[in-house]
Each structure stands twice: as structure tokens, then as C-alpha cells.
């Protein structure tokens, strides 16, 4: 579904990602865990075309590459950015609609509110008045309306209370089961990564230093990369 080979990304002269390779199979869930500044956001942005790769290949059966990022999203990749980036002055429903092309507004998929009933209750409220957890659900809903095959989330638990983190994990697992979605998520919260992913990749200073199936995870070894 998504295959990344020897990806190298620079910001100017600064070499941020070094030969990153990864694979996401259809319907599977992969977590990329690593501390602040290790390159998680850069990697995810490179995958959706927000930052250019200098070397390496990104192949996706969800979307034909290379495409401009807006077309890649349309072609099957949904992106939930770090910090959620919802529009505070727009209503909940208007925020969701920004995930669609204008001419498809009539095809508004009702399934969104089945997954996130709280968003239906609040559909006329301004996005900026929602709690952090509700805004995260909104950002996920916005990414889902285009019916992606792969949902990419950048640190979805950042700034979210523990009880709500559990809810988000449950939502992602339900979405996978019911829509057959594949999920690629970056995280620093290991418990959340283990709740949602089958496979973990550890990123350290722009390199994938460890890759493990959840069932044969050496939890202390992974944790050592996450604690300072
Ligand atoms: N636009 C930019 N220009 C230059 N350097 C950048 C830019 N964005 C990020 N960096 C640098 O690239 C490195 C990787 O940053 P990135 O944001 O990908 O890390 P991250 O793992 O997402 O961190 P966090 O957990 O804090 O979000 C860091 O050293 C960061 O300072
Ligand atoms: Mg980041």
C-alpha cells in the first residue's frame, strides 16, 4: 500500500532523514515512535508531499506518485497534522467539509457522524470552542471524508488527556475494522502506539533504528529511545 525506500530529506543543508525505508500493508497499522525533533513530522510530511525528498522513493498504491499533495490526498491518503490545525472560526461541519472538494459537497458522508457522534451534536459550534480531544476527532473526521485508504496521523495524542487518548485509540481501531483502513501514526506515547499499531518503527535522529512486530516487542529497548 505504501512503500518507502531510502528516503533522504534535507532542510537546506541540514540532513534530517537518512535512508528511511518502511512498508505499510493494506489494512495494517504502523507506528513510528521517537522523541522530539527526531524527524517524525518531516517523514510524514514527505510522504504526503509537503516537503520534498532529495533521494529515495515513495510508492503508493493508494495514490500514484509523484502528485501534488492535494491530489495525493484525493487519491487515497488522509492526513491529520500535528497540532490538529482545525479552523477555529469555522463550524464543526464546515471544518469537516474542508476535507472535500467543493463539487463533492453533496456527497457528504454520513458515516463520519456515526463514528464521532459528539461531532454531530456540535456540528454548528465553532471548531475553536471544542476541547482538545474533540478537535482531534474533528481533524480525523476531516481527513476521513475524502475516504482515504491510508490514514496518516502525526502525534495525535499531543496535548490530550489520558482518558481521551483511550477514546482516540478505540476510534482508530474501529475505523480500521469497519472501513478496512490502513494507519500510519507517529507517536511519543508508547502505550497509545501499542494500542493502535501492529508494528513499531523507532526513529532516532532521522534514522529508523529498530523495527519490530508488536508481539515480539522488547518494550524496555523501545522505551530507552523515548526517555531522555
Ligand atoms: N522547516 C524546517 N526548517 C529547518 N529545520 C527543520 C524544519 N522543520 C523541522 N526541522 C528540524 O528537523 C528535525 C526534525 O524535526 P521534526 O519536526 O520532523 O521532528 P519530530 O520528530 O516531528 O519532533 P516533535 O515530536 O517535536 O514534533 C529537527 O531537528 C527540527 O529542528
Ligand atoms: Mg512532529
Indicate the domain borders of the chain. 2-226
Top mutation candidate among 32, 39, 45, 53 for ligand 1, by most atoms within 8 Å of CB: 39
Cell of 227: 526517555
The architecture of the domain spanning 2-226 is 3-Layer(aba) Sandwich (3.40)
Nearest atom (ligand 1) to Cα of 51: 1
Please count the other Cβ atoms lying within 10 Å of the Cβ belonging to residue 29: 22
Residues of the chain with pLDDT under 70: 63-75, 101-109
* Inter-residue contact 157 to 187 (CB < 8 Å): yes
Q: How far is the CA of 171 from the centre of ligand 1 (A)?
A: 28
What angle is formed at CA 156 by the lines to CA 197 and CA 99, rounded to 5 degrees? Answer: 105
Q: How far is the CA of 213 from the centre of ligand 2 (A)?
A: 23
Nearest atom (ligand 1) to Cα of 82: 27
Q: Is 102 in the pocket of ligand 1 (CB under 6 A)?
A: no
Q: Is 81 in the pocket of ligand 1 (CB under 6 A)?
A: no
Q: How far apart, in whole angstroms, are the C-alpha atoms of residue 3 and residue 84? A: 25
pLDDT at 201: 97
H helix runs in 27-131, sequence order: 40-48, 69-74, 92-97, 111-115, 117-121
Residue nearest to atom 7 of ligand 1 (CA): 11
pLDDT at 193: 96
Residue nearest to atom 26 of ligand 1 (CA): 36
pLDDT at 110: 76
Please count the other Cβ atoms lying within 10 Å of the Cβ belonging to residue 73: 21
In the numeric block, the cell 456540528 is attached to: 123
pLDDT at 115: 87
Q: Is 82 in the pocket of ligand 1 (CB under 6 A)?
A: yes
Amino acid at each position: 500500500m505504501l512503500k518507502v525506500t531510502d528516503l533522504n530529506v534535507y532542510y537546506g543543508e541540514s540532513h534530517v532523514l537518512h535512508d528511511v525505508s518502511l512498508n505499510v500493508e493494506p489494512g495494517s497499522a504502523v507506528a513510528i515512535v521517537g522523541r522530539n525533533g527526531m524527524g517524525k513530522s518531516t517523514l510524514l510530511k514527505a510522504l504526503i508531499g509537503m516537503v520534498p525528498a532529495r533521494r529515495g522513493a515513495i510508492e503508493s498504491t493508494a495514490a500514484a506518485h509523484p502528485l501534488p499533495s492535494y491530489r495525493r490526498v484525493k487519491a487515497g491518503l488522509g492526513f491529520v497534522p500535528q497540532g490538529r490545525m482545525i479552523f477555529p472560526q469555522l463550524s464543526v461541519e464546515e471544518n469537516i467539509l474542508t476535507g472535500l472538494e467543493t463539487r463533492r459537497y453533496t456527497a457528504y458522508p454520513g458515516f463520519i457522524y456515526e463514528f464521532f457522534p459528539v461531532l454531530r451534536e456540535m456540528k454548528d459550534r465553532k471548531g475553536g470552542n471544542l476541547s482538545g480531544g474533540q478537535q482531534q476527532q474533528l481533524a480525523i473526521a476531516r481527513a476521513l471524508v475524502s475516504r482515504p485508504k491510508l490514514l496518516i496521523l502525526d502525534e495525535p495524542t499531543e496535548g490530550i488527556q489520558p482518558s481521551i487518548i483511550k477514546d482516540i485509540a478505540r476510534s482508530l481501531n474501529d475505523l480500521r475494522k469497519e472501513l478496512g483502513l490502513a494507519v500510519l501514526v507517529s507517536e511519543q506515547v508508547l502505550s497509545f502506539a501499542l494500542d493502535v499499531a501492529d508494528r513499531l518503527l523507532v526513529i532516532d535522529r532521522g534514522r529508523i533504528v529498530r523495527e519490530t512486530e508488536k508481539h515480539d516487542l522488547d518494550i524496555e529497548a523501545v522505551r530507552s529511545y523515548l526517555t531522555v
